[in-house]
A and B are shown apart, each in its own frame.
Chain A
């Protein structure tokens, strides 16, 4: 029925016409539709081209900073003391890791991560980072682990092996406090440093020479524009601005002398500073016990760090630079200079020493070290020279009482105490030079005559660092020409530290007085074979076989106050309440090449304990003389 209707109603001509019309209309419509597409493409490709092109470039191009190799540090004989070790590190870019737990689990099976590594990694991950900054998972990959990671690279998106240089200190603990060390850049550091200059750097100098010369050692960051694919893998390098390596430094330090100093301290807590009196160059700077700075780079676990920090012997404490101690009798030569200059005494004046000193009208006895409870002390008739070589407290109590605080404070400051005069010693402490004004301010009390007495024998509030005492020794060795202690001897960088402004000579003290004081200090070491109580204090310990002329002064700094009427009994005191042993010296007297300060904490008597250390250090410097001569000459020119 339908078919018949259709047949009856069909009109082929009309259908063709109608179809043609429709086809034409649709042809126009689809032409318009294609035009719409063309317009859309025109919009994207021509009108918005710049925007999309920029995003395309941003997609593929990444600028990667390249860390500059850190400058190396050498000792005066060109021996490497801080260098760079090539390492391959396992790094993770968290943003590119699809499943961190799965990735870590896979690495676990591949290279066996330790719990500490995981913990340290999570810790670093939690810290703030730059976006896409790789985070260290293992600092040093051995070749087998590297191969395992490399083979499974496709399963480890976001995991990279990074070739880099790591700070290394070949001498380990030996030079730790002198050269210092680098530490991993912390969040706080990133706030301080130029984020661009340090964009690839992971370690920066934190202590010592490494810290002071950070700018010179660091170098300039390089850049590499790389093309990466959608998974962040580098497909090729587009261009590269190489980094500029940090400057190398050569220090005055002598590795062998340092080793001799550490050996001489023989495991006791103490410090040795050796200077070249002509330049102020630091030949040795030892602090014992020490620590291995490499541990901080390879990653110290929390326990290890705590152990170092809580060690009673304080291995992290830089004693020669930051330790401030009463100088004890080593201060006496300076008081002698002040007293001579102020006219309070002369080389002829003498007094009888009963073993103690009493201020007029006071009953309190200020004791000489020779004093005994049975009143059997005293050193007989004492003049200034003997007061130095026998280290008479009684004589200096008298000088102190008559000088008053100001001349003593003034001579102390002239010799560099109470302030840091070093050129490049990081974190050096100033010590303390007391005077009336200081006491009123600090303790709210006036200056008593008793304070002057203590001041005159280097006790009381006066504090010095071993570095400062070595500077005092060097200044005496130079007959009043002060020096500024410094590490830097040479560098390929033009650093201002290479030529520090010279200090004016201390010509307020006469050359005759310098000569007298030095002669008395020589007697400390060399005056021997006399009757009892007439030998130099150090002669018995170091002076009997010494092959060169050395001027020295011992010091024995009280740590606790001994009550009136009681004797200092070393056996009865706790080890840590025993006196600190000091010795300062320079040699050869006629043309000094080395000035030394030695401190042995709670060591006891300065002459007995510290003087042999000083002798060992000076021996090490002067006795194997022949091969060193040219170096010394070169230093002298700078």
Chain B
């Protein structure tokens, strides 16, 4: 851990999945890397000036801008003819799926050689667990409260990976902190792509999801094993890699361990929602061939 480019001693919550994701990503990218980050849990917990967890050059910008800032960095590197330096964006799902979306689209469209990494904890955790476009169907957040009139977030999760593929991005992958070898390989693959890349890393949030301390990696593994989180990989728009699930588990095994889904096991209409979520998992399994 002491050798990691993402140093310990940061202020992330005990049991947070995000620092694990960052360490894996950054150490795979190596020291010749520049990182741009938007506002979010990562930025707030890793850079309270004058402290920093970053052992590589790191630049922050406001919530919506990181892809644009990284574009500028990449252009400047090209101007200096330093094309061997990796440029990464590492941002959360709020900045990726919502407010920074336009800038990401521009970055993809212009074909910058940048790997955009989204650490996906499925809500605005830094500001108090508000829904993002990455929040899964019927999860409870502070802006999708549960009660007689609501079973949580009414919308399914936005499919950012598919959107990246639709931009013609040369390398697109989803990953999980529970599969570190797979994640490291994907980061290396992305950096060898001739153009932009998008990697979405599932990083469970102990505070927002409400699960037991020490369970973040297990949570992410359950997401994969229930087929709610397909680990997939596209090169030039072609699906080239799928992480197979040996023993598919029912979605309840994943949902029942998290406070954000607690209402589904009590409230009227909860059973129907559970069936819908199971159908989403089944559809993933069929669409990507996760099981055979």
- To the question of whether A and B form a pair in one complex, the answer is no
